[in-house]
Amino acid sequence: MGCLTSSQKEEDISIALQSSKKLKIVIVGLEGSGKTSILQYLKNGKFTESQPTIGLNVETIQFKARHYLIFDVGGKVRTLWSHYYENLDGLVFVIDTTDSERIEIVKNELKKLGSEIKQKCCQYI
């Protein structure tokens, strides 16, 4: 029979509560880069044809006993991306590597994203 101290019980409860918390993930990228396709793959396990996102898609997904609240923010509403950066647990920037004509736009958006992320929530790599 085991014995737990009060602080051990509190730590165990804290760990249990953290694991049940939905982690907030935001997916951004230029329009047509594949954000919604990735979200649908995570949700359904397969890629499906999708329409351009107007505004926002939000899905809750369970993966390996964790729940994720995923925000797929449309590429045409880049000015609104930063509104979703607060209290993030993760951010995914999707790049269509076959679209070489827009690589400079991608670079500029990544620079903006970096400074906004530092101000709003977290470090990034």
Residues 45-64: tens digit of each pLDDT = 998 888 888 889 999 999 88
- Read off the amino acid at residue 1: M
48 is in an annotated binding site: no
User: For residue 69, is pLDDT > 50?
Assistant: yes
Query: Mind listing the pLDDT tens digit for each residue in 81-115?
Result: 888 888 888 889 999 999 999 999 999 999 988 88
Q: Which residue has the higher pLDDT, 74 or 76?
A: 74
CA quadruple 74, 60, 94, 52: dihedral positive or negative? negative
Beta 23-29 vs 90-94: how paired, if at all?
parallel
33 is in an annotated binding site: yes
pTM of the model: 0.76
**pLDDT value for 48:** 83
**pLDDT value for 55:** 84
5 is in an annotated binding site: no
53 is in an annotated binding site: yes
Q: For 43, what's the count of Cα atoms within 13 Å in the CB-facing half-sphere?
A: 16
Residue with tokens 């390996």, as numbered in its chain: 64
Task: Write the CB contacts of 46 (distance below 8 Å, at least 6 apart in sequence).
Answer: 40
Instruction: Give the chain's domains with CATH numbers.
Output: 22-120 (3.40.50.300)
30 is in an annotated binding site: yes
**pLDDT value for 114:** 84
32 is in an annotated binding site: yes
**pLDDT value for 107:** 95
115 is in an annotated binding site: no
Least confident of 12-26, 28-42, 66-80: 12-26
